Structure formats: structure tokens, C-alpha cells
Amino acid sequence: MYSFKDLRKKSKQAVDGTPRRLAILGDISTQFLAVAVRGFAAFEYLPLEVYDTDYNQIEAQLLDPTSEVYGFEPDSILLWLATDKLYEEFLDLPLEARSGFASSIMQKITMYWDLIAQHCKANILQMNFTEVDDKSLGNYSCKVDSAFVYQIRKLNFMLAEAMEQRKDIYPIDLLSVQVRLGTSAFYDAPLYYNAKMSVSTDALPYVAKAVIDVQKALAGRIKKCVVLDLDNTLWGGVIGDDGMDNIEIGELGRGHVFTDFQRWLKQLKECGIILCVCSKNNEDTAKKPFEEHDEMILRLLDIALFVANWDDKASNIRLIQKTLNIGMDSIVFIDDNPFERNLVRQMIPEIEVPELPEDPALYLGYLQEQNYFETASFTGAGSDRTKLYQAEFERTKLMMSFESIDGYLESLEMIGEAKPFEESKYSRIAQLTQRSNQFNLRTVRYTDADIQSIANDPNYVTLYYTLRDKFGDHGLVGVVIMKKKNEEELFIDTWLMSCRVLKRGMEEYIVNGFMREAKKRGYKRVYGEYIPTPKNAMVKDIYKVMGFEEISENNYVMDVSKYKEKKIYIKE
Amino acid sequence: MERNEILKKITEIARDVFDNDEVELTEQTTAADVEEWDSLSHLSLISDIEREFGIRFTLSEISGSKNVGEFIDALIKHLDRT
């Protein structure tokens, strides 16, 4: 979050465009809020003119038809009755009058609303009420209607009900800011008594964000669609490797985290947000949990567009955006993988890409905190848009062509390494042969002991591959085992790669590496074979793509002297 | 931290808050001596100093300090306590 200092500096910066006009009216000092709101608007490129009235001028301004506030011709008027002031008013009341406190304040607020409606066209941003931990009767206060906590909670509820009846009122949920930050951070007593400011300078940016979020929604800047990754985002684990029975979803263990996340997403969909899937997977594999897993909350019917293939995600998101025919800036892309996030962010700067925390348990709270789904209307009944989009998608899918991502790959500054097996890596190599299902040409499983004997056997040529880029180290991501057929020929017994590093030139880097190794050792030909499994369809044609010659079904050969090194963006 | 070091820091912060690089503070400077020093910028100044030094002034320190020197006295008291 920005600091108040950041906002103060930014508040001096103008934003091009016709500004929305916001007048602030409060019974406490609102000067700092005005500064913070101006600053936040500038950070969000929202042209906004703010008129701040003097302290405690609400009634004077609203009753006088020629007042400065009406003269300003605001689009919105922010009304802020601070709980601190209400608390003082409350305590000045005789005990017997306190039970009617919430009702009388509500009457006053309704009067303000009516005055505004009479005198100008502005809509109203209404702050709700923070709480004061009064404790006059300890915990017992909660059930005594002449206690402040009872009345302030009642007032919040009455306010909600009254706002529900009027279309021109937009709540600013100040209470939620207090709840998130805690009273000790939200409130600064010396500042209140010194300057009549009812929130701390540290809390002001959060309040300003709430105001600007609503202003953005009023200006039509809202999110309409969430594009979701699958593996380790919607469930724990990798469906292609772990299979239906082993992904984490449901009430048990870590699965609970993903279930709750899905519950929240389902609610978004019910509120009219379009959910889409964008996953690097085979479509059948990716859809299976939605169709068959008992504990999935989201089902295929909830997903407007389901895109699962091996193309880069930026191209797929463009496909989704064109099909839905909505602005890129109304899409939120949720993916646990920092590589994918950075790629999408770089290729599509307008899209919203939350920097998800590493721990899935924190996904939900983090996304809620960002408040992406601010809206200025709610129609209630769930929309049927999902189905419509599903049909439209089938049509446009065929028409799309994808852009190149070379520039992005280059900017990653990737560094790879290819080395013969060494002892410290045996376990990791064995583990990869046991776990990799998708990018695995022959799916031969090996134990630690197997790997050790292969490494020490002169009839084998072995290589393991690592990759890192400017965002981090991916570690050991590729394994190649070549078996000597005779003095001139090698056979690729194992070639596997982690799907995390797909489509960034690692495939080509691996081929360059083993062909170079074959050449160095004086071999003339390298043979490759693809053995189909239910999971490795994605590498069905990889040898062909890499320029190998097909000699029979699923069998290929490459002449070492004819091999031309592939252009890649991975350096050694 | 030495008094003159603190004065230097506060001067830097003041220049930033008042948006004026010419501002020179001494122990005797009062708000009346600096054109940009009004009630609003006073609060910004306090908030930025609190953030920079990681302390919180009391109500009487915020409203009661007569000049920059007294302000530094208060600041040093807080720094000694932490």
C-alpha cells in the first residue's frame, strides 16, 4: 500500500481527461483525506477534482442552496459522520434517550440525503460507521440497548437497509478498513485531539483506496472476468502427473484451502463475474476433475471458456478476451506460477495480475484485500452469460492466430546448464523419472540405484539440465539418458522435462545439448522413440518438430553431421 | 544520535514536506518563520518525522513545542526510551 507521504506527493500531479467531481463533507477534519484521495486517483490515472469543505460544515452546506458545495456541481458527495463525534454526542444524551440514538442519527442522515437530492444531481458516497470499544458494561454492553456498541451496530444495520432502498447511494465501508487494520493502527488519539482527524495517517491510504475504488466503478472501470490457472491454483498438485485421485481438493488437509477458494470463486460467478480457465494441459485431462471429482466446487457449467492447451498463456488470454469481447483491463488473471504471471504481465500490460502469495492458504485473503470486484450495481439473479460465451468460444477458437513471444524470452535472461549425472543429483533424477508423465518420451521409471549404475556404465551417455532466469532458479528440470547401440549410434532411452519450463526454448536447448554431446563422442546417428501413454500426448510429435527423420511409426533418427543447432534464448 | 544530526534530518524532512529546498531550520525556528508551515503541513511534518524515527509524539508535544529546539528535546526523549 502507498504511504500517506506517497499520496501527498502524487496529489500534485494532474491526470488528463475530464475529471469526475467529488465534494467531501464531514463532521471531522477531512483535509488529509482530500489529499490522500487526490493522490490515489493520480496513481490510478483517474481524473478527479476534489472539493474539501471546512470542518463540521455539513448542515450549513446542505441547507443553503447557494453553498460552495452545490456551486462546485459535484458528481458525487462524500458524507462522513465520524463515530468519534457520534460517541461524544451519545454520551451527552441522558441515559433514557440513548436507546433511540441509532434511529435519530438515521433520521438525520436521511435528511441529508433528501437535501442533496433536492439541490443537485450528485450521487452520495456514504461512509458507514467504525466501532468504539466502549466497554461501559463490559461484554454485557452488546445486549443493552442503551450502550454505545449496541447503538452503533444497530446504526450500521439501519444504514445498510436504508441504502438498499435508494439507488443513488454508494457505501464506503470504513468499518471494513478498521477491521482489517485493527483499531490501534486505524486510530491515532493524539491526532484526533490535536487535529480532529478520526483516522491515523497510516490508515488514510486504505480509506482513500475505498473511495477511489468506488469512483472507478462509477466511471465504469470494473472487472468482469477471472481467468484461472488450474494446477496448484484451483487444486493442489498437478493433474497431469498426480492424477484425479491425488490432487488436493476437499475437506482433508491442504485440499480445504482450495475448496474454500473455489467456494469464493463460485460466489463471484453468481454475482455475474465470468470465470474462465487457461491451463497448460491436455484438454481432456484438465476437464476431468470438473466432470468427475466429487469434491470439486466448480463444475464445467461454471466455466464460460475452458482453454487447455500447450500454447503460451498470453495468446490464450487474448483468445479469451476477443471471444468475450470485453476490455483487457476488465480481466483478472490468477496463476500460482511467477513465470506465467510475468509473461502475461509483460505481453498484456493492461490486464490485472495479482502477485499471489506463495502459500495457497493465503490466496483468498490476499485477493479479498485487493478488492478487484467493486461494482456500482447489483441485479441479484445470476446471469446466464456463461452459456452464451461457451458457444461463441467454439467459433472463434479456430480463427485465432498467436503472436511470437521471442522478445519476452530474451528479456528473461535464462541460463541453462547440461552436465553428466553426478552423485548429488541421483535422487532428484530418479524422482523425476518416477513422477513425470506429460513431457516424458518413453516413461521409463528408475530407482536411485538404477540411476547410479547407469551413471557409472560406459554404455550410457547421461545428461541432466538445470535452468534459471532473472526471476529465480527452477533447479533440475530435464533428464536425458542415451544408450549406446554400437560404436556409431546412440538410442535415447529417456528424455523427460518438467512442464513448469515448457515453451521457453528449454526443449530446443536440451536437443542442442545431447546432439553436441553425441558429436563430441564421435557418434554418427541418434535414434529416438515415442511410447504413447494416456498422459504424454503433448510430446507425440516432438522429434518431428525438432527435425528428426521418421523411420517408422514413433521412431526417429537424426544424423549428427546434419544437425543444425536451434536458435534459443537460453545462455550457458 | 547527536542533536545536530537530528536537526539535519528534520531539515531534510521539512524541505520535502514544504516542497522547498531553501528551508533552513535552526533550534530557534518557529512555524511563523517558514511561509509554508501551516497547520496542515505541520501534521504532515510530524507524521513524516514519526515514520522516519519510528516514534510517536504525545499530544502535548505536537501542540506544545514552541520551536524546533523543543521539538528535538521531545524527539530525543522518545529515542532514549526505545
Quote the pLDDT of residue A382: 45
User: Which of these ranges, A114-118, A132-136, A332-336, A393-397, has the smallest mean pLDDT?
Assistant: A393-397
Q: Percent of chain A scored above 90 by pLDDT?
A: 77
> A-chain residues within 8 Å CB-CB of B62?
190, 194
> B-chain residues within 8 Å CB-CB of A4?
44, 47
- Which candidate in A31, A201, A204 is best for mutational testing of the B interface (most B CBs within 10 A)? A201
Interval A376-384 mean pLDDT: 62
Interval A227-234 mean pLDDT: 97
> B-chain residues within 8 Å CB-CB of A191?
43
Structural domain boundaries, residue B26: 3-81
CB-nearest to A5 from B40, B48, B57 is: B48
User: CA–CA separation, A203 vs A188, rounded Å?
Assistant: 9
Quote the pLDDT of residue A387: 60
> B-chain residues within 8 Å CB-CB of A32?
40, 43
A458's grid cell: 560406459
Quote the pLDDT of residue A396: 47
Give me the residues of B, 24-43, that contact A with CB < 8 A: 39-40, 43
A17: left (phi over 0), alpha (psi -120 to 50) or beta: left
Rounded to 5°, the CA angle A354-A359-A364 comes to 55
Residue A473 has pLDDT above 90, yes or no: no
Q: Where are any strands of DSSP class E within A346-406?
A: none
Interval A257-271 mean pLDDT: 94
pLDDT in tens, A280-322: 999 999 999 999 999 999 999 999 999 999 999 999 999 999 8
Indicate the number of domains in chain B.
1
The pTM of the full predicted model, rounded to 2 decimals, is 0.75
User: CA–CA separation, A238 vs A155, rounded Å?
Assistant: 49
User: CA–CA separation, A410 vs A561, rounded Å?
Assistant: 28
User: Which of these ranges, A67-81, A395-409, A516-530, has the smallest mean pLDDT?
Assistant: A395-409
Interval A46-55 mean pLDDT: 93
Per DSSP, the residues of A181-234 read H-HHHH--HHHHHHH--SS-TTTHHHHHHHHHHHHHHHTT----EEEE--BTTT
User: CA–CA separation, A186 vs A200, rounded Å?
Assistant: 6
Quote the pLDDT of residue A427: 83
pLDDT in tens, A353-363: 999 999 999 99
Interval A503-531 mean pLDDT: 94
> A-chain residues within 8 Å CB-CB of B15?
none
pLDDT in tens, A155-201: 999 999 999 998 889 999 999 999 999 999 999 999 999 889 999 99
User: What is the residue type of A392?
Assistant: E
Per CB distance under 8 Å, which residues of A are interface residues toward B? 3-5, 8, 31-32, 189-191, 193-195, 197, 201
Interval B19-46 mean pLDDT: 88
Interval A2-29 mean pLDDT: 93
Interval B10-35 mean pLDDT: 90
Q: Name the band, by pLDDT with cuts 50, 70 and 90, for residue A395.
A: very low
Quote the pLDDT of residue A445: 87
From A29, which residue of chain B is nearest by alpha-carbon distance?
A: B40
> B-chain residues within 8 Å CB-CB of A194?
43, 59, 62-63
Query: What is the arrangement of strands in the sheet containing A555-559, beginning at the earlier edge strand?
Result: A549-552, A555-559, A525-529, A489-497, A472-486, A460-469, A414-419, A570-571
Residue A228 has pLDDT above 80, yes or no: yes
pLDDT in tens, A402-426: 355 677 777 778 899 999 999 989 9
Q: Percent of chain B scored above 70 by pLDDT?
A: 99
Quote the pLDDT of residue A307: 94
A565, A518 Cβ separation under 8 angstroms: no
**Which ipTM was obtained for this model?**
0.82
CATH number, position B65? 1.10.1200.10
Q: Name the band, by pLDDT with cuts 50, 70 and 90, for residue A116.
A: very high
Quick one: A141 exposed, middle or buried, by C-beta within 10 A (0-12, 13-18, 19+)? middle
Quote the pLDDT of residue A219: 85
CA B58 to chain A, closest CA, distance in angstroms equals 6
> A-chain residues within 8 Å CB-CB of B78?
none
A3: CB partners within 8 A, 6+ apart: A202, A205, B51
Closest CA to A210 of A162, A181, A176: A176
Closest CA to A281 of A234, A338, A342, A323: A234
Under an 8 A CB cutoff, do A8 and B44 touch? yes
Quote the pLDDT of residue A323: 83
Q: Does B56 contact chain A (CB < 8 Å)?
A: yes
Interval A38-64 mean pLDDT: 93
Under an 8 A CB cutoff, do A190 and B40 touch? no
Interval A531-543 mean pLDDT: 90
A371, A392 Cβ separation under 8 angstroms: no
Interval A140-152 mean pLDDT: 96
Residue A327 has pLDDT above 50, yes or no: yes
Under an 8 A CB cutoff, do B40 and A193 touch? no
Quote the pLDDT of residue A167: 82
From B52, which residue of chain A is nearest by alpha-carbon distance?
A: A5
Quote the pLDDT of residue B82: 67
Residue A400 has pLDDT above 60, yes or no: no
Give all domains of chain A, ordered by start, each with its CATH number.
Answer: 4-218 (3.40.50.1110), 225-403 (3.40.50.1000), 412-571 (3.40.630.30)
A349, A247 Cβ separation under 8 angstroms: no
Q: What is the mean pLDDT of chain A?
A: 91
> Partners of A549 in the beta sheet?
A557
A36: CB partners within 8 A, 6+ apart: A4, A7, A8, A11, A204, A205, A207, A208
User: CA–CA separation, A510 vs A465, rounded Å?
Assistant: 7
Q: Name the band, by pLDDT with cuts 50, 70 and 90, for residue B7.
A: very high
Q: Does B20 contact chain A (CB < 8 Å)?
A: no
Helix pair angle (A148-164, A101-119), 10° resolution? 30
A553, A466 Cβ separation under 8 angstroms: no
Under an 8 A CB cutoff, do B47 and A195 touch? no
Quote the pLDDT of residue A106: 97
- Which candidate in A194, A199, A200 is best for mutational testing of the B interface (most B CBs within 10 A)? A194
